[in-house]
């Protein structure tokens, strides 16, 4: 049987908004296990191609670090 429901397409902004909210909440890590120091998050924000790949990977499984990284990015954009 064919599903006749139409899929609703989402735009890029909506997708990234969902992803940001998901990463910010889905992976609590209250003990901050394996978390990098702020200096490494700052380095990732300033020089993403030079940062340790572990840091980027860690951000996808640790909401506290993802949120801190987003704060660092926002601070850099503000000036």
C-alpha distances (whole Å) from 5 to each of 1, 8, 10, 14, 15 are 12, 9, 15, 21, 20
Is 38 within 8 Å of 68 (Cβ atoms)? yes
Alpha-carbon distance 64 to 5, whole Å?
37
Q: What is the pTM of this model?
A: 0.83
**pLDDT 10s digits, 58-71:** 999 999 999 999 99
Give the pLDDT confidence score for residue 3 in this predicted structure.
57
Give the pLDDT confidence score for residue 11 in this predicted structure.
86
Residue 59: partners with Cβ closer than 8 Å, 6 or more residues away = 23, 65, 66, 69
Alpha-carbon distance 5 to 36, whole Å?
45
Mean pLDDT of the chain: 91
Residue 5 banded pLDDT, cuts 50, 70, 90: low
Give the pLDDT confidence score for residue 66 in this predicted structure.
98
């Amino acid at each position: 049987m064919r599903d006749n429901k139409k899929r609703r397409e989402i735009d890029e902004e909506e997708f990234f908004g969902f992803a940001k909210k998901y990463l910010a909440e889905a992976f609590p890590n209250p003990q901050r296990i394996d978390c990098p120091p702020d200096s490494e998050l700052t380095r990732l924000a300033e020089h993403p191609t030079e940062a340790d790949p572990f840091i980027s990977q860690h951000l996808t499984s640790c909401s506290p670090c993802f949120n801190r990284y987003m704060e660092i990015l926002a601070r850099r954009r503000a000036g």
